[in-house]
Amino acid sequence: MLTGFIREEPLRALYAHWRARSEDGRRLPRRADLDVLDWPTRLLPHAFIYEREAHGRFKCRLAGTRFAEELGYEPTGRYIDSRLDTRPGRRRIELFAECVEAPRALYYRARLGVIGHDHRESGRLLLPVADTDGTVRFVYGGMMVARIADAISARADDGGMIEVHRAPPVVAGAERSCG
């Protein structure tokens, strides 16, 4: 279980919400099980939904206002790989893919550097969600950002990762994966 690793309270609240609808991680929730209007209110500005399309790319379907501000651009309607072509970007895309392919919830902390801003540390929660037919193709989640001191930033690997935590795979209700 990821609860002990998630530092940001709004992300812990979203994880608890997802776990309740996934029968404590034993059943993969469907889109209808996770209406954004039922998400913790304080998380909504930091929330995102990505859809893995048939060709394997992730397209942003929803981006909260703070999420977009922290990224430095509006991601809605764009593919995640259109902005992330560096090693750290590829590492993040790999985590999104693992989320839907396993499928499993993931929490990670990483450096986040936007041009013209100081380096910051972000905590992200990735949650697998199935379509109505059971196809695992959505990543629901949120990102919280905080400025960090150089000493903390030095702990990151060359992919920008500080730490990655994985929940056990969800088996029931995950009939097949897209992509």
Q: Is 54 exposed, middle or buried (0-12, 13-18, 19+ CB in 10 A)?
A: exposed
Is residue 159 predicted with pLDDT exceeding 50?
A: yes
Backbone angles phi, psi at 92, to 5 degrees: -65, -40
In this prediction, what percent of the chain has a pLDDT beyond 70?
83
Residue 87: predicted pLDDT:
64
Query: What are the structure tokens assigned to 124, written together?
Result: 């992200």
Is residue 3 predicted with pLDDT exceeding 80?
A: yes
Tracing tokens 């936007």 back to the chain, one arrives at 114
CATH number for the 9-177 domain, one of 3.40.50.2000, 3.30.450.20, 3.40.390.10, 3.20.20.70?
Answer: 3.30.450.20
pLDDT (average), residues 10-37: 91
CA separation for the pair 125, 55 (Å, rounded)? 24
CA separation for the pair 51, 70 (Å, rounded)? 20
Is residue 178 predicted with pLDDT exceeding 50?
A: no
pLDDT (average), residues 69-75: 88
Q: In terms of pLDDT, which residue wins out, 53 or 121?
A: 53
Alpha carbon separation from 49 to 62, 86, 143, 155 (Å, rounded) = 5, 22, 11, 28
Is residue 141 predicted with pLDDT exceeding 50?
A: yes
Give the tens place of pLDDT for each residue, 86-126: 666 788 899 999 999 999 999 999 877 554 445 678 899 99
Q: In terms of pLDDT, which residue wins out, 106 or 153?
A: 106
Banded pLDDT at 85 (limits 50, 70, 90): low
The structural domains of the chain, with segments of one domain joined by +, span 9-177
pTM of the prediction? 0.88
Is residue 39 predicted with pLDDT exceeding 80?
A: yes
Residue 97: predicted pLDDT:
96
Is residue 174 predicted with pLDDT exceeding 80?
A: no
Is residue 71 predicted with pLDDT exceeding 90?
A: no
